Amino acid sequence: MEDTKLNQVHTELDALFRLVNTLRGKNGCPWDKKQTPETVSIYLMEEVFELADAIETADLEQIRDELGDVLFHIVFIARMFQERGEFDLADVAQTITKKMIRRHPHVFGDKKINSSEDVIQNWHKIKLDEKKSTAKPSLLESVPAKLPALLRAYRVSDRVAKTAFDDTDFDSNLKHAHGALDRLKAVLKCQDTSDSSEQIGDLLFAVVNLARLAKIHPESALAGSVKRFEQRFKKMEELFSKSKREYEEVSIEEKKLIWQKLQKSVL
Protein backbone atom coordinates (compact mmCIF):
# COMPACT_ATOMS: atom_id res chain seq x y z
CA MET A 1 0.00 0.00 0.00
CA GLU A 2 2.80 2.40 0.94
CA ASP A 3 4.74 1.56 -2.24
CA THR A 4 1.61 2.21 -4.32
CA LYS A 5 1.15 5.61 -2.70
CA LEU A 6 4.82 6.44 -3.22
CA ASN A 7 4.55 5.54 -6.89
CA GLN A 8 1.50 7.80 -7.17
CA VAL A 9 3.47 10.67 -5.61
CA HIS A 10 6.28 10.15 -8.11
CA THR A 11 3.79 10.08 -10.99
CA GLU A 12 2.06 13.30 -9.93
CA LEU A 13 5.34 15.10 -9.26
CA ASP A 14 6.62 14.04 -12.68
CA ALA A 15 3.44 15.45 -14.22
CA LEU A 16 4.05 18.75 -12.40
CA PHE A 17 7.67 18.90 -13.59
CA ARG A 18 6.56 18.29 -17.19
CA LEU A 19 3.88 20.98 -16.83
CA VAL A 20 6.43 23.56 -15.67
CA ASN A 21 8.83 22.54 -18.45
CA THR A 22 6.05 23.05 -20.99
CA LEU A 23 5.13 26.46 -19.60
CA ARG A 24 8.77 27.56 -19.85
CA GLY A 25 9.36 25.79 -23.18
CA LYS A 26 9.49 27.05 -26.77
CA ASN A 27 5.73 26.88 -27.26
CA GLY A 28 4.87 27.68 -23.67
CA CYS A 29 3.15 30.62 -22.00
CA PRO A 30 4.60 34.06 -22.89
CA TRP A 31 4.06 35.34 -19.35
CA ASP A 32 5.65 32.29 -17.67
CA LYS A 33 8.60 32.35 -20.06
CA LYS A 34 9.58 35.93 -19.19
CA GLN A 35 9.53 35.42 -15.41
CA THR A 36 12.67 35.41 -13.28
CA PRO A 37 13.32 34.02 -9.78
CA GLU A 38 13.13 37.60 -8.50
CA THR A 39 9.67 38.26 -9.95
CA VAL A 40 8.25 34.89 -8.91
CA SER A 41 9.58 35.12 -5.34
CA ILE A 42 6.99 37.81 -4.64
CA TYR A 43 4.17 35.46 -5.63
CA LEU A 44 5.72 32.67 -3.55
CA MET A 45 5.63 34.87 -0.44
CA GLU A 46 1.96 35.64 -1.08
CA GLU A 47 1.16 31.94 -1.50
CA VAL A 48 2.94 31.03 1.73
CA PHE A 49 0.81 33.54 3.66
CA GLU A 50 -2.33 32.20 1.98
CA LEU A 51 -1.29 28.68 3.02
CA ALA A 52 -0.77 29.82 6.62
CA ASP A 53 -4.22 31.41 6.56
CA ALA A 54 -5.75 28.20 5.20
CA ILE A 55 -4.10 26.14 7.94
CA GLU A 56 -5.55 28.53 10.50
CA THR A 57 -9.07 27.89 9.14
CA ALA A 58 -8.53 24.08 9.18
CA ASP A 59 -10.26 23.83 5.79
CA LEU A 60 -8.64 20.69 4.35
CA GLU A 61 -9.63 21.39 0.75
CA GLN A 62 -8.26 24.92 0.95
CA ILE A 63 -5.06 23.72 2.64
CA ARG A 64 -4.49 21.15 -0.10
CA ASP A 65 -5.09 23.82 -2.76
CA GLU A 66 -2.70 26.32 -1.16
CA LEU A 67 -0.03 23.65 -0.64
CA GLY A 68 -0.28 22.99 -4.36
CA ASP A 69 0.26 26.68 -5.13
CA VAL A 70 3.37 26.79 -2.94
CA LEU A 71 4.71 23.56 -4.46
CA PHE A 72 4.15 24.89 -7.99
CA HIS A 73 6.13 28.05 -7.29
CA ILE A 74 9.00 26.08 -5.73
CA VAL A 75 9.20 23.78 -8.78
CA PHE A 76 8.88 26.80 -11.07
CA ILE A 77 11.74 28.70 -9.40
CA ALA A 78 13.97 25.62 -9.34
CA ARG A 79 13.32 25.15 -13.07
CA MET A 80 14.56 28.68 -13.80
CA PHE A 81 17.83 28.04 -11.97
CA GLN A 82 18.14 24.73 -13.84
CA GLU A 83 17.84 26.63 -17.14
CA ARG A 84 20.78 28.78 -16.05
CA GLY A 85 22.82 25.63 -15.43
CA GLU A 86 23.22 26.44 -11.72
CA PHE A 87 21.23 23.69 -9.94
CA ASP A 88 18.00 21.73 -10.24
CA LEU A 89 15.28 20.47 -7.90
CA ALA A 90 17.21 17.23 -7.29
CA ASP A 91 20.11 19.30 -5.94
CA VAL A 92 17.66 21.21 -3.72
CA ALA A 93 16.20 17.97 -2.34
CA GLN A 94 19.67 16.52 -1.76
CA THR A 95 20.85 19.65 0.07
CA ILE A 96 17.87 19.82 2.43
CA THR A 97 18.01 16.07 3.12
CA LYS A 98 21.68 16.30 4.11
CA LYS A 99 20.97 19.36 6.25
CA MET A 100 18.08 17.69 8.11
CA ILE A 101 20.16 14.56 8.77
CA ARG A 102 23.00 16.73 10.08
CA ARG A 103 20.64 18.68 12.35
CA HIS A 104 18.95 15.55 13.75
CA PRO A 105 21.90 13.60 15.19
CA HIS A 106 19.55 12.24 17.86
CA VAL A 107 17.58 10.49 15.09
CA PHE A 108 20.25 9.65 12.52
CA GLY A 109 23.26 9.42 14.86
CA ASP A 110 24.14 8.51 18.43
CA LYS A 111 23.35 11.87 20.07
CA LYS A 112 21.16 11.51 23.18
CA ILE A 113 18.27 13.99 23.49
CA ASN A 114 15.83 13.97 26.43
CA SER A 115 13.31 16.68 25.52
CA SER A 116 12.06 19.00 22.80
CA GLU A 117 13.93 21.84 24.56
CA ASP A 118 17.16 19.87 24.17
CA VAL A 119 16.36 19.44 20.47
CA ILE A 120 16.01 23.22 20.04
CA GLN A 121 19.26 23.96 21.89
CA ASN A 122 21.18 21.37 19.92
CA TRP A 123 19.63 22.59 16.65
CA HIS A 124 20.89 26.13 17.27
CA LYS A 125 24.32 24.87 18.31
CA ILE A 126 24.59 23.00 15.01
CA LYS A 127 23.45 26.09 13.11
CA LEU A 128 26.09 28.19 14.87
CA ASP A 129 28.76 25.65 13.88
CA GLU A 130 27.49 25.83 10.29
CA LYS A 131 27.74 29.64 10.33
CA LYS A 132 31.36 29.44 11.55
CA SER A 133 32.27 27.04 8.75
CA THR A 134 30.78 29.32 6.08
CA ALA A 135 32.47 32.41 7.59
CA LYS A 136 29.37 34.63 7.46
CA PRO A 137 29.99 38.10 8.97
CA SER A 138 27.05 37.97 11.39
CA LEU A 139 24.70 35.53 13.07
CA LEU A 140 21.85 37.70 11.83
CA GLU A 141 22.82 37.44 8.15
CA SER A 142 20.51 34.47 7.64
CA VAL A 143 17.41 36.32 8.89
CA PRO A 144 15.60 37.20 5.63
CA ALA A 145 15.47 40.95 5.03
CA LYS A 146 12.08 40.66 3.33
CA LEU A 147 10.31 39.04 6.26
CA PRO A 148 7.39 41.13 7.58
CA ALA A 149 8.72 43.35 10.36
CA LEU A 150 6.94 41.52 13.21
CA LEU A 151 8.24 38.12 12.11
CA ARG A 152 11.73 39.53 11.51
CA ALA A 153 11.79 41.19 14.94
CA TYR A 154 10.98 37.84 16.55
CA ARG A 155 13.64 36.00 14.53
CA VAL A 156 16.30 38.61 15.31
CA SER A 157 15.40 38.58 19.01
CA ASP A 158 15.46 34.79 19.09
CA ARG A 159 18.81 34.55 17.29
CA VAL A 160 20.45 37.05 19.63
CA ALA A 161 19.02 35.24 22.67
CA LYS A 162 20.83 32.06 21.58
CA THR A 163 24.19 33.85 22.00
CA ALA A 164 23.49 34.51 25.71
CA PHE A 165 23.13 38.24 24.92
CA ASP A 166 19.74 38.25 26.51
CA ASP A 167 17.99 39.43 29.65
CA THR A 168 15.80 36.44 30.51
CA ASP A 169 14.09 38.12 33.46
CA PHE A 170 10.48 38.80 32.49
CA ASP A 171 9.99 41.65 34.99
CA SER A 172 13.12 43.39 33.71
CA ASN A 173 11.88 43.17 30.13
CA LEU A 174 8.48 44.39 31.25
CA LYS A 175 10.21 47.48 32.68
CA HIS A 176 11.91 48.00 29.30
CA ALA A 177 8.50 47.91 27.63
CA HIS A 178 7.08 50.39 30.15
CA GLY A 179 10.09 52.64 29.55
CA ALA A 180 9.49 52.52 25.79
CA LEU A 181 5.84 53.38 26.38
CA ASP A 182 6.76 56.32 28.62
CA ARG A 183 9.16 57.67 25.99
CA LEU A 184 6.44 57.37 23.37
CA LYS A 185 3.99 59.25 25.60
CA ALA A 186 6.53 62.05 26.07
CA VAL A 187 7.14 62.34 22.33
CA LEU A 188 3.43 62.38 21.52
CA LYS A 189 2.78 64.94 24.27
CA CYS A 190 5.35 67.25 22.69
CA GLN A 191 3.80 66.52 19.29
CA ASP A 192 7.24 65.58 18.00
CA THR A 193 6.14 63.47 15.05
CA SER A 194 9.72 63.12 13.78
CA ASP A 195 10.61 60.86 16.70
CA SER A 196 7.28 59.08 17.24
CA SER A 197 7.91 56.40 14.61
CA GLU A 198 11.18 55.38 16.28
CA GLN A 199 9.57 55.24 19.72
CA ILE A 200 6.64 53.15 18.46
CA GLY A 201 9.13 50.79 16.85
CA ASP A 202 11.06 50.48 20.11
CA LEU A 203 7.84 49.71 21.98
CA LEU A 204 6.82 47.05 19.47
CA PHE A 205 10.25 45.43 19.64
CA ALA A 206 10.08 45.39 23.45
CA VAL A 207 6.68 43.66 23.25
CA VAL A 208 8.14 41.10 20.82
CA ASN A 209 10.82 40.29 23.42
CA LEU A 210 8.15 39.86 26.09
CA ALA A 211 6.22 37.49 23.83
CA ARG A 212 9.34 35.42 23.17
CA LEU A 213 10.12 35.12 26.87
CA ALA A 214 6.52 34.06 27.49
CA LYS A 215 6.96 31.41 24.73
CA ILE A 216 4.22 33.06 22.67
CA HIS A 217 4.83 33.86 19.02
CA PRO A 218 3.89 37.54 18.51
CA GLU A 219 2.55 36.85 15.02
CA SER A 220 0.06 34.29 16.36
CA ALA A 221 -0.88 36.53 19.29
CA LEU A 222 -1.48 39.54 17.06
CA ALA A 223 -3.40 37.45 14.52
CA GLY A 224 -5.68 36.27 17.32
CA SER A 225 -6.28 39.82 18.54
CA VAL A 226 -7.06 41.05 15.04
CA LYS A 227 -9.47 38.17 14.53
CA ARG A 228 -11.31 38.95 17.78
CA PHE A 229 -11.47 42.63 16.88
CA GLU A 230 -12.94 41.78 13.47
CA GLN A 231 -15.56 39.51 15.01
CA ARG A 232 -16.64 42.18 17.48
CA PHE A 233 -16.70 44.93 14.87
CA LYS A 234 -18.77 42.81 12.47
CA LYS A 235 -21.13 41.97 15.32
CA MET A 236 -21.54 45.66 16.06
CA GLU A 237 -22.28 46.35 12.37
CA GLU A 238 -24.81 43.52 12.44
CA LEU A 239 -26.56 45.01 15.49
CA PHE A 240 -26.90 48.38 13.79
CA SER A 241 -28.14 46.75 10.61
CA LYS A 242 -30.87 44.89 12.52
CA SER A 243 -32.00 48.16 14.06
CA LYS A 244 -32.12 49.60 10.52
CA ARG A 245 -29.51 52.23 11.25
CA GLU A 246 -26.42 53.07 9.27
CA TYR A 247 -23.13 52.65 11.12
CA GLU A 248 -22.15 56.27 10.39
CA GLU A 249 -25.37 57.56 11.96
CA VAL A 250 -24.69 56.08 15.41
CA SER A 251 -22.99 58.35 17.96
CA ILE A 252 -19.47 57.55 19.14
CA GLU A 253 -20.78 57.29 22.72
CA GLU A 254 -23.23 54.54 21.79
CA LYS A 255 -20.58 52.73 19.75
CA LYS A 256 -18.22 52.70 22.73
CA LEU A 257 -20.96 51.42 25.03
CA ILE A 258 -21.86 48.58 22.65
CA TRP A 259 -18.17 47.78 22.12
CA GLN A 260 -17.65 47.37 25.86
CA LYS A 261 -20.51 44.89 25.99
CA LEU A 262 -19.18 42.98 22.97
CA GLN A 263 -15.74 42.70 24.57
CA LYS A 264 -17.34 40.62 27.31
CA SER A 265 -19.58 38.51 25.07
CA VAL A 266 -17.64 38.04 21.80
CA LEU A 267 -14.35 36.30 22.72
Decide if 219 contacts 154 (C-beta within 8 A): yes
Sign of CA dihedral 75, 76, 77, 81: positive
CA 46 → CA 34, 50, 73, 111, distances in Å?
A: 20, 6, 11, 38
Decide if 208 contacts 160 (C-beta within 8 A): no
pLDDT at 224 over 80: yes
Q: What are phi and psi of 22, to 5 degrees?
A: -65, -45
Residues 162-168: what's their mean pLDDT?
A: 68
More confident site: 167 or 34: 34
CATH architecture of 2-102: Orthogonal Bundle (1.10)
What fold is seen in the domain 145-216?
Helix Hairpins (1.10.287)
pLDDT at 160 over 90: no
Residues 5-63 pLDDT 10s: 888 999 999 999 999 999 999 999 999 999 999 999 989 988 998 998 899 888 999 99
Residue-by-residue DSSP string for 203-260: HHHHHHHHHHHTT--HHHHHHHHHHHHHHHHHHHHHHHHHTT--GGGS-HHHHHHHHH
Decide if 208 contacts 200 (C-beta within 8 A): no
Sign of CA dihedral 156, 161, 167, 172: positive
Residues 71-110 pLDDT 10s: 999 999 999 999 999 999 999 999 999 999 998 988 898 8
H-run or E-run covering 93: helix 89-102
